[in-house]
Amino acid sequence: MTHILILICVLLLGLRPDGGAFAAPSEPPEAPSLAPPGPPRLDDEKLKKEKEQREAGKEESRTPTVEPELAEKLFGKGHYTYIPLPAFAYNRNERYYIGALMPILKSDDKKQINDIYAPQYLYNQFVGHSGTLNYYGYRADTAQYRIIINWAEKVQRNIDFSYKDLGAGGGRFIIGGQANYFRNPFARFFGYGNNAPLYSESDWTDREIIGNVFIGLNLSPDFSILLTERYRDVKIENGILPRLANTASKFAGTQGVEGAQIFGTRLTLLYDTRDSQLTPIKGTYINFSTEFNTNVEHDEPNRWLRFTLDARHLIPHDHDTKVFAIRFFVDGVMRTDRTSTRTVPFYERPMLGGETTLRAFGLNRYIDDSAYLLNIEERFLIMKRVFFEHEVDLEIAPTLDVGRVLDLDHGGAVQFNNMQINPGIGFRVMARPHVVGRLDIAYGRDGGNAFVGLDYPF
């Protein structure tokens, strides 16, 4: 998601296609004069007119009319806007990425962005040269398309197609699905538990084939029921980071290092009163699901249940310029058989860490039988801008993430003094009603971390 970070930086510069600075959303009123105004004299009117003419001449010299035309020719054509940009990223494990990208924004007649194309080139010392084509489609507030094709010189691969429509059939049905093949050479595992130490970090290449389809029925405007079928094929391959041990060697006895083929059936109850699927400012979202899973990689039984509750609430205030957002998340697995040699694979257990959970940690930092999470944000609307004829909002959001994982099999109890507590700050750039680009920075036990991406974290 490097291209989103760069796009955010460009939008924050406050530059306009005509070369001028953006005006504030509203100018403060002038201070009133204490003396009552008298009738204007002829000399005063003459001087005023001359002053207005001089000021008009200065304004024309500052903003020549040719500049908007030049910007239009260079960066825009019809409904398309082209933004050539350099690309740069860094994180602790993967080190530096450097390259370039070309976000292409396509809007409709109402100046709303319906499509984002982002071809990208990057170089990284571990995977070499790579090319990526990112596409995001927003046909309506309820429908989204995504295509990502990434191919690196070494190891790294990603081909991802997904589609969902929460209002199909005139709003009656929910349909969607995903097909994904990837090889991620930067997957990590630290062991189980809320106190898994940073020094136990190991590296593995995660090779997966994922497929899922879902269908649902909107029983009312706010309440829905969904059925999902999924397939997941996982292979554990050697990692490529020289300073880290391979997961399959360091955690040889851990369930899942031999790979897995998983079939799952999930039933979901959904209650949603938010005013928008992608850029909401008010409402409640509650998702409760139960999933039955089977690992068919082995002859002996290997089955488990998964329960998940995801509850969110948004409260707008101060004339909708601020939104208080809160989320409570619980996730747990429970074995349905007691085969002594088989348990739930480590990558199928509840996890915390990453851009949508504990944002101070890398993806899947903490793993165990259950996870508990509280996210809090206060989202401030700072300004509105017009960027190449697209209306763009800028938000800043102080954030707090509190959570932990827990081993249910050994009678652990949730204690507040064992929680991971991650304060942070978020920067969001929005082209309503469909697009949110974000940068979230947080601090925790391992230090600081940052994530960029599309859509709100919750």
Residue 18 resides in a domain = no
pLDDT tops 70 at residue 17: no
pLDDT tops 80 at residue 76: no
Q: What is the pLDDT of residue 191?
A: 95
- Condensed to tens digits (0 to 9), the pLDDT of residues 216-256 reads 999 999 999 999 999 999 999 999 998 899 999 999 989 99
d(CA 439, CA 319): 25
Residues 425/429/434/440 CA torsion (nearest 10 deg): -30
Minimum mean pLDDT range among 147-161, 222-236, 272-286, 334-348: 334-348
pLDDT band at 53 (very low <50, low <70, confident <90, very high): low
Q: What is the pLDDT of residue 287?
A: 98
Residue 38 resides in a domain = no
- Condensed to tens digits (0 to 9), the pLDDT of residues 379-390 reads 999 988 776 666
Higher-pLDDT residue of 439 and 161 is 161
| Residues 6 or more apart in contact with residue 251 via CB below 8 angstroms | 189, 191, 202, 257, 346
Q: How many domains does the chain fold into?
A: 1
- β-pair partners for 148: 134, 160
Residue 341 resides in a domain = yes
- Condensed to tens digits (0 to 9), the pLDDT of residues 118-149 reads 899 999 999 999 999 999 998 777 889 999 99
Residue 59 resides in a domain = no
User: How would you class 404 by CB atoms within 10 Å of its CB: exposed for 0-12, middle for 13-18, buried for 19 or more?
Assistant: buried
Q: What is the pLDDT of residue 158?
A: 97
d(CA 24, CA 383): 7
Of the chain, the percentage scoring pLDDT greater than 70 comes to 80
Q: Could you tell me the residue range of the domain that residue 434 belongs to? A: 2-12+74-454
Q: What is the pLDDT of residue 128?
A: 97
Residue 393 resides in a domain = yes
Half-sphere exposure of residue 64: CA atoms within 13 angstroms, side-chain side: 6
pLDDT tops 80 at residue 101: yes
Place of tokens 């827990």: 406
- Strands 435-444 and 420-431 turn out to be antiparallel
Q: What is the pTM of this model?
A: 0.79
Residue 24 resides in a domain = no
Of the chain, the percentage scoring pLDDT greater than 90 comes to 57
The alpha carbon of 389 is separated from its chain's Cα centroid by a whole number of angstroms, namely 24
Q: Hey, what long-range contacts does 389-393 have (CB within 8 A, 24 or more apart)?
A: 389/76, 389/81, 389/107, 389/111, 390/81, 390/105, 390/107, 390/111, 390/113, 390/431, 391/111, 391/431, 391/432, 392/11, 392/429, 392/430, 392/431, 393/428, 393/429, 393/430, 393/431, 393/432
CATH code of the domain containing 358: 2.40.160.50
Average pLDDT, the chain: 82
Q: What is the pLDDT of residue 228?
A: 98
- Condensed to tens digits (0 to 9), the pLDDT of residues 398-421 reads 999 999 999 876 555 555 568 999
pLDDT tops 80 at residue 67: no
The mean pLDDT value for 430-443 works out to 82
Residue 265 resides in a domain = yes
Residue 47 resides in a domain = no
Place of tokens 């700072």: 382
